[in-house]
Structure 1
Amino acid sequence: MNNFTYTKAQSTEEAVAGLAKNSQAELLAGGTNLIDLMKYNLQHAEHLIDINHVQGCQTIEENSAGGIRLGALVTNADTAYHPLIGQRYPLLSKAILAGASAQIRNMATNGGNLLQRTRCYYFYDAHAPCNKREPGTGCSALEGYNRIMAILGTSPQCIAVFPSDMCVALAALEAVVRVKGPAGERVINFEDFHRLPADTPHLDNSLQAGEMITGIDLPEEGFEQNYSYLKLRDRNSYSFALVSVATGLKLSGDRIDLARIALGGVAHKPWRVKEAEEFLKGKTASPENFTKAADLILEGAVGFTHNAFKIELAKRAIVRNGIMALNPSETQRPGAQPSL
């Protein structure tokens, strides 16, 4: 690991000022991804600004719009187990608990979860060409072992996937990200926060230089009655998703009044297709209609040598998760194993 200097910030203003002074400075919260990147010599921070004591980012509370504000420095574990989240946003709680290990969730923060880097094998191999790590060098995954890679929103420059479970639920909930930087405060709709690779795969999100995440706003609608999070992976614990699906439904009897579906493990960002959600409005909550929605969501999907199976897997997962959302008290119990 390279040498670095270290300071503690007590306020967002102090943290932002520290970033402005040194373009090679990084914010340190839980450090569950940053420290790994530094150990692998992939992140070269000259200065670490510890923000764990920054005030105003460490609570979960109701906001003025009738929703909930998640402090950026609240841990994933405290978020998942918070009574307000469990009662009003169980989809988010289930998604968080599907990710990582208990030890990591106890350290990882909400803001850091949004900023984690891909787990692409070639990104972590300093000797492999990688446009995400070194723009212009190529994408080794295109012709390499690409089992875990993207099938949607790819480009010739990058087929890596974004690894977060929490963010898939936040996409389905239509959360809003609050940030602060040299120009002041601003909000970013969640669908605009993460980026597709296009010609700039090294840019993961829409944060501007010197900005830090201060919180995440959840809207009033939490789909607490009908929801499901389904994560399909190579092993049942501590593994990233091959495909994950977050589904939230508002129902009148068996008719769908509102639907949200977001996918993880398939693209450079959580994947939503609003046309599919619009298609489901007014329709019966049935396997046939969820299948048609799945076809819309997966339209344009392209598989590579080792991951073409993900297309059919994702379609089946969308349908299965829609059915699971109809009875979450049964399908979301610990140990439930849905078949596909």
Structure 2
Amino acid sequence: MQRIFITGTAGFIGFHLARLLLDEGFTVAGFDGMTDYYDVRLKQRRHQMLLQSPGFRATEAILEDRDALDGAIDAFAPDVIIHLAAQAGVRYSLENPRAYIDANVVGSFNVMEAARRQGVAHLMMASTSSVYGAETAMPYVETQKADTQMTIYAATKKATESMGHAYAHLYDLPTTMFRFFTVYGPWGRPDMALYKFVDAILDGRPIDIYNHGEMYRDFTYVGDLVRGIRLLMDAVPVRPADPADIAPGDSLSPVAPHRVVNIGNSTSVRLLDFVEAIEEVLGVKAQRNLMAMQPGDVPATWADASLLQSLTGYRPQTDLRDGVQRFVDWYRAYKDSGGLR
């Protein structure tokens, strides 16, 4: 499986995954809409870096443009499709929910249709820890119920999981859904907490800390995340001949080649401790604006990554302070260069 089609290659995670696969010798086709949810120049710079590799090509169009998506996938004839593109952002889904329906539901449907038509060996699609919603039993495991989503963003991701299962069942399309847990690292999005906090602290502005800092997140370094995706490429789900053969803890469907996998650091970190790690790396104290919990937020996330480890032998392990340091090093270099690196 050498030809990999990735949606969202100008995005944070897609950029890192494409770079990893190119370094390993894969041929990669990217697809990205360059939407203006955040600074398009950052997206353009990511694509410029990828295009320096002879093994990379890119199409600029939105997922909802089915003709453009079909044309790009048909021309490339991929072995694997990895669908990362989405309208991101939990809080923005309160302001503009339709954008999430268009990109995350309609767009994902278009990707699944193309994968079915091409008969790819493996369809991989991004989900999120937000699908666990109001569930309080932690750490989260893939086999537990996840029917209490708190935002339209989370609901669209759960819908994608369900549609993916239906396609896997109906068309015997091997499908892996991965649930991300609070990804951070170099080239991160400006709307994400780490970027916002570092930017504000260095500029002398206060940072908004929700629920007075009593929130917990499973912060997962982006390099660990994309390594997990890369290894899951080879863990292709197979429809079980007998559901009794499914191993304990495996989320493999009894009626389809479909599996859901958490990719997280397996550590739940208090938000105030996260802020303190940033302060330590920067050598600057933050001005803290303590605020109430925001609509749609959940108080905690915590991944059980045992299934990922059993399937791949790998478990994310980057220490939070080390990951923050790598982000800060990139952020300073990026700002000093005027956004050129």
Tell whether the structures are fold-level matches, with TM greater than 0.5: no
TM-score by length of 1: 0.30
TM-score by length of 2: 0.30
